[in-house]
Amino acid sequence: MEFVCTLGTPQGRVIEEVHEAGSEEAARKELVRQGYHVFKIRRGGALGSFSLPRFGRRGRRISEETLLLFNQELAALLRAGLPILQALEIMLRRQREPLFHEVLTQVRSKVENGADLSDAFEDFADLLPRIYPQTLKAGERSGELEQVIRRFVRYQSLVTSTRRKVVSALVYPALLVALSLALIGVMTVFVVPKFSDFFSNMESDLPLITRVTVAVSAFLGDNWLWMSLAALAVVIGATSLSRSRRGAQMLGALRLRLPLLGNLFQKMALSEFSRALSTLLSGGIPLVSALESSVEAVSNVHIRRQLEPTVAAVREGNALHASLEASGVVPEVVIEMATVGEETGDLDTMLTNASEFLDEEVETSLQRILTLLEPLLLVMMGVIVAILLVSIYLPLFSALGQVRS
């Protein structure tokens, strides 16, 4: 059986841990033998606590909007002079998102029992941005928790804003593609078959383009169910693949190889990295710890794996700019700014400048892509529709010519 135990450590800290034992008394004796002071023991699991087992949390994340709003309000309450525990209780009463409400319930309980806010949130690092507990720890160390939380809010707002810009910009091209496919599908499955019987009664040979169109139409009409199931299986398979470590890395690498968009996704990922590292360094986190958390904050798993050796290199005493250059994925401008930052002792500011430069590059590249992509899609759509119309009407014009002659 599992028991949630509130313990006092020999160093004077109050912690909460889960221990397994045959009974509550057995758990208490074992903990006392290990040198802990036992404050409270309660039965774990679904009947005894609100604990969130990791197998139940897999694939679940606190939404960016929910976390952003929580931190904005938490910073306001701390600025008003409220103690952290009272602020958490207020936020807990107002929280409507079930998963985050459950998290806040446990966080408040841990803080009430003497844990630091950063340590309390660290237990839910798989549900939150990787740099969040580290940011809180920086605020607790410096005594400027409210200012550090506001810095995190700015970081999260900028990252979210960049992603939304990219998604919003790609909506129109995606809509064009979807409408094109729908129109082609309707014409191929419903319009062309109406002419098939007429074409079959024609004595003259059909043009090649018409024969191909009729054959494709017949194939789609006979196999649309199997093709729909195959498409659904591909979507489900890709989703499952993206949730595995190796699969996410493969999809990340594939995303970087996309024509036109690959370079855009790379700049977005490196902007995330630069801004996360700048945020942690400005909060007083040591370079190695900040670098480790910043690498984990990168959404593209393939780039994250290529950046991971920089952590070991910096830990061994190498300069940050040299380690980033060795990764082979960081643009020259970021390396140059990191070099200047290390030489002047203003690394966090230079990394902020680097992330802003990359964001501008993303926006500029996005506008260029859209300028090229939108007319190209319209032309492709027109050409395909024209081919379908020609394949249908060409035999009709041919038959009409024969009748007149």
pLDDT tens string 191-211: 777 777 677 666 567 778 888
3-state secondary structure of 10: coil
Task: Count CB-CB contacts under 10 A for residue 369.
Answer: 18
Name the CATH code of domain 52-128 (choices 1.10.3720.10, 1.20.81.30, 3.40.50.2300, 3.30.420.40). Answer: 1.20.81.30
DSSP 318: -
Q: What's the CA dihedral at 283, 289, 293, 298 to 10 degrees?
A: 100
Q: Give pLDDT, residue 322.
A: 92
Q: Give pLDDT, residue 14.
A: 65
The percentage of the chain sitting over the pLDDT mark of 90, rounded to a whole number, equals: 6
Q: Within the chain, which residue ranges are assigned CATH 3.10.20?
A: 1-51
3-state secondary structure of 39: strand
User: Residue 25: enclosing H or E segment and its boundaries?
Assistant: helix 24-33
Give mean pLDDT, residues 359-376.
Answer: 84
User: Residue 18: enclosing H or E segment and its boundaries?
Assistant: strand 14-20
Q: Give pLDDT, residue 323.
A: 92
Using the Cα atoms of residue 359, residue 241, residue 100 and residue 111 in order, give the sign of their dihedral. Answer: negative
Any bridge partners for residue 2, and if so which? 20
Which has more confidence, 32 or 326? 326
CB 350, CB 341: distance < 8 Å: yes
Which has more confidence, 45 or 330? 330
Tell me how far CA of residue 288 lies from CA of 215, 248, 308, 346, in angstroms. Answer: 62, 25, 11, 16
Q: Give pLDDT, residue 339.
A: 92
Query: From the DSSP assignment, how many helices (H) and strands (E) are in the chain?
Result: 17, 3
Strand 37-43, strand 2-8: pairing: antiparallel
- Find the DSSP H helices in 187-331: 192-200, 208-243, 245-256, 262-282, 287-296, 301-315, 320-327
Residue in the structure block whose two tokens are 């660290």: 122
Which has more confidence, 186 or 100? 100
pTM exceeding 0.95: no
* Mean pLDDT over each residue of the chain, to the nearest integer: 81
- Return all residues near 135 (Cβ < 8 A) that are at least 6 apart: 148, 149, 151, 152, 279, 280, 283, 285
Any bridge partners for residue 3, and if so which? 19, 43
| Long-range contacts from 184-188, C-beta under 8 angstroms, 24+ separation | 184/384, 184/385, 184/388, 185/220, 187/385, 187/388, 188/213, 188/216, 188/217, 188/220, 188/388
The model's confidence at residue 405, banded by pLDDT at 50, 70 and 90, is low
1-51: CATH architecture: Roll (3.10)
d(CA 102, CA 362): 37
d(CA 364, CA 29): 65
Residue 364 has pLDDT above 80, yes or no: yes
Q: Within the chain, which residue ranges are assigned CATH 1.20.81.30?
A: 52-128, 158-405
Residue 37 has pLDDT above 70, yes or no: yes
Q: Name the range with the highest mean pLDDT among 13-22, 26-35, 269-278, 385-394.
A: 269-278
CB 112, CB 85: distance < 8 Å: yes
Which has more confidence, 35 or 76? 76
DSSP 299: S
Which has more confidence, 324 or 188? 324
Using the Cα atoms of residue 308, residue 309, residue 312 and residue 313 in order, give the sign of their dihedral. Answer: negative
d(CA 263, CA 353): 19
The model's confidence at residue 130, banded by pLDDT at 50, 70 and 90, is confident
**CATH number, domain 158-405:** 1.20.81.30
Using the Cα atoms of residue 107, residue 110, residue 114 and residue 118 in order, give the sign of their dihedral. Answer: negative
